[in-house]
Chain A
Amino acid sequence: MTVSSDVRRITDTMAAFIGHGAKNLPDDVLKALETLRSKEDDPLALEIYDLMFRNLKLARELDRPTCQDTGFLQFWIRCGSGFPFIADLEEALTQAVIEATASTPLRSNVVETFDENNTGNNTGTGAPTFWWDIVPGWDGCEIYTYMAGGGCSLPGHAMVLMPGQGYEAAVRFVLDRMTSYGLNACPPLFVGVGIGNSAETAALNAKKALMRPIGSHNENEKAAAMEKLLEDGINAIGFGPQGMGGRYSVTGVNVVSTARHPACMGIAVTVGCWSHRRGCIVFDRDLNYEVRTHSGFSAEYSSHDSGSDQSSSFGKAGAAND
């Protein structure tokens, strides 16, 4: 197989995976929502949960995106230094976004800054987003996909606290954001908290926190304790599904931290909506892949054996997004 047909295979698989992720929630998110619904007793909240699950079922049956805001595509790539296609990945993923936009279809959500025109294909200057981590000595590649919706991107916030304010200030920073912006961001929310040296390291840590499975815990005991305290605390605020009131407000809180300067504590929060559309797929050097997030994604969605005919396996493709 030539390099170009291999790159085509990455593109096809990723286009199919992006489309699948727009139509199906990850296993951990579904499970978390089911748990919250089973523990809820507010009648309006229960009516909203019922609507959510009916919508997810209908999305599967009709093969459509669960939400009209299919987001701004972001990729966090943990790439082995020996992965043979490291140099081709950005181009392949960009092409996958263009193809998934037409085949899924995804809403065109990329607007060029200053020029203020919608590019129509979900790509543009710096779009999709790529964050890279290189894993020395590995020949595989782990790709996290995230569809960052407008509503749940709005609460995003980062700043640098003075260490004298302590972790107490970090708690206020997160909870203040929940009542000011979180209500409107389609709760139950999945909350990512990042702590680091500066505003941007904290912000990226917060995003990485959203990629970690719901129900996983930070390896540091104190950080894990803070995850639990924040989760219980935000639930106790009681804003519930859609912010209209309910017993539970979050599917989870994950904290990711890195070391900091003694004089600074960067803190950031970012949230995923109830329809937290993130995926994780791992390729080996031969492009065999394993999907970590969606048990329903199978080879029938990808054109593994076909280097060129990607349209046949996508179902209802169309020139939808002109």
Chain B
Amino acid sequence: MIDKINGKTVITTPVSAEEIASLHVGDVFYLDGEMVTGRDSVHARVVTEGQQLPVDIKDKVIMHAGPIVRIHNDAGSSSAEGSAGSPSYEMISIGPTTSMRMENFEYEFLQETGARIIIGKGGMKDKTAAACRDLGAVHCVFPAGNAVIGAECVEEITNVHWLDLGMPEAVWCCRVRDFGPLIVTIDSEGRNYFEEKKVEYEQRKEEQIAEISKQVHFMK
């Protein structure tokens, strides 16, 4: 569901392909609902090893993130997942990790899981852009390094899976409120904000290299 509240775009999960189609690169929105974390190892397990993600994220959100979670063991064992006396979890710090590391997995990952929103850091390339176009999804950036704000938007960690991968790599299931700002960087038409900006950056870089090179003839 997409709402405009006082000029602010708020997306509440689940979200459909039609709703996703209304988002375009450069748009800013905030997220309410269900989001799970997954980065290198989670993508490898799902895509390379063919394991099923233990949580249904169809029409929901995958965030490339490895949070800091405080585990409260008061209730008992820290090792059992979902069993009686299982620990509770407190989100301390969560922000995005470099999305580009997931580029080779993302098409198949979205195809397999049906996620519609990817949250990450920096750009992704053609394969992800193709996935967003073919499957009706977007990639967006949560400005990185702002992990305390991120954590304050997590109302509850509802579950954790694959904790054997370690804290950063596990699948943390979160209920979030007002999570953002999220800036759309690949839209469902396949437009890619970073790839478009990079053309400008490359051109200006070549100009600067030529200019600076005139002034560093230090070699004798």
Interface residues of A (CB under 8 A from B): 44, 47-48, 51-52, 54-55, 58-59, 62, 64-70, 105-109, 111, 117-118, 120, 150-151, 154, 163-164, 166-168, 170-172, 175-176, 178-179, 183-186, 222, 225-226, 229-230, 233-234, 236-239, 241-245, 273-275, 318-322
Contact = CB atoms under 8 A, between A and B. Distances in A.
B145 A52 contact: yes
A175 B148 contact: no
Given A107-B68, A170-B216, A229-B212, 8 more contacts: A64-B93, A67-B93, A68-B65, A68-B68, A69-B66, A171-B216, A242-B141, A322-B78
Given A184-B98, A184-B123, A242-B143, A120 B166 contact: yes
In the complex, the 3 A-B pairs of residues with the closest C-beta atoms, listed nearest first: A184-B122, A118-B166, A233-B208
A90 B68 CA distance: 26
A238 B200 CA distance: 9
Q: Is the interface on chain B under 10, 10 to 19, 20 to 34, or 35 or more residues? A: 35 or more
B98 A154 contact: yes
B167 interface: yes
A46 to B, nearest CB: 12
A197 to B, nearest CB: 16
Q: Chain B: interface secondary structure?
A: mixed
27 contacts: A59-B148, A67-B95, A67-B147, A68-B65, A68-B94, A70-B68, A70-B93, A105-B68, A118-B166, A118-B167, A151-B97, A164-B219, A167-B216, A167-B219, A168-B217, A175-B205, A179-B205, A183-B198, A184-B99, A184-B100, A184-B122, A185-B122, A233-B211, A237-B208, A238-B201, A243-B194, A274-B145
B218 A69 contact: no
Nearest to A222: B218
B149 interface: yes
B17 to A, nearest CB: 26
Interface string B159-181: 00000011111000000000001
B113 to A, nearest CB: 23
Contacts of B165: 118
A177 to B, nearest CB: 10
Interface in B108-154: 121-123, 141, 143-152
Contacts of B70: 105, 318, 320
Contacts of B144: 67, 151, 186, 242, 273
Nearest to B78: A322
Contacts of A175: 205, 208-209, 212
Contacts of A105: 68, 70, 92
A234 B165 CA distance: 38
A106 B69 CA distance: 9
Nearest to B72: A318
Nearest to B200: A238
A58 to B, nearest CB: 4
Interface of B: 26, 28, 65-73, 78, 92-95, 97-100, 121-123, 141, 143-152, 165-169, 181, 183, 193-194, 197-198, 200-202, 204-205, 207-209, 211-213, 215-219
Given A183-B123, A184-B100, A243-B123, A54 B213 contact: no
A65 B147 contact: yes
Contacts of A166: 216-219
Contact of A150 (B98, B194, B216): B98
Contact of B147 (A54, A68, A117): A68
A169 to B, nearest CB: 9
Nearest to B168: A107
Contacts of B166: 108, 111, 117-118, 120
Given A69-B66, A108-B168, A226 B216 contact: yes
A179 B197 CA distance: 10
A95 B165 CA distance: 24
Given A68-B94, A244-B193, A58 B71 contact: no
Contact of B208 (A70, A236, A274, A275): A236
A151 B101 CA distance: 10
Contacts of B218: 166-167, 222
A54 B78 CA distance: 34
Contact of B66 (A55, A107, A230, A244): A107
B147 to A, nearest CB: 4
A69 B197 contact: no
A117 to B, nearest CB: 8
A322 B98 contact: no
Given A68-B65, A244-B193, A319 B73 contact: yes
B154 to A, nearest CB: 11
Contacts of A58: 148-149, 152
Q: A117, A178, A184, A319 — which one has the most chain B CB atoms within 10 A of its CB?
A: A184
Contacts of B97: 69, 150-151
Nearest to A171: B212
Q: B78, B92, B200, B204 — which one has the most chain A CB atoms within 10 A of its CB?
A: B92
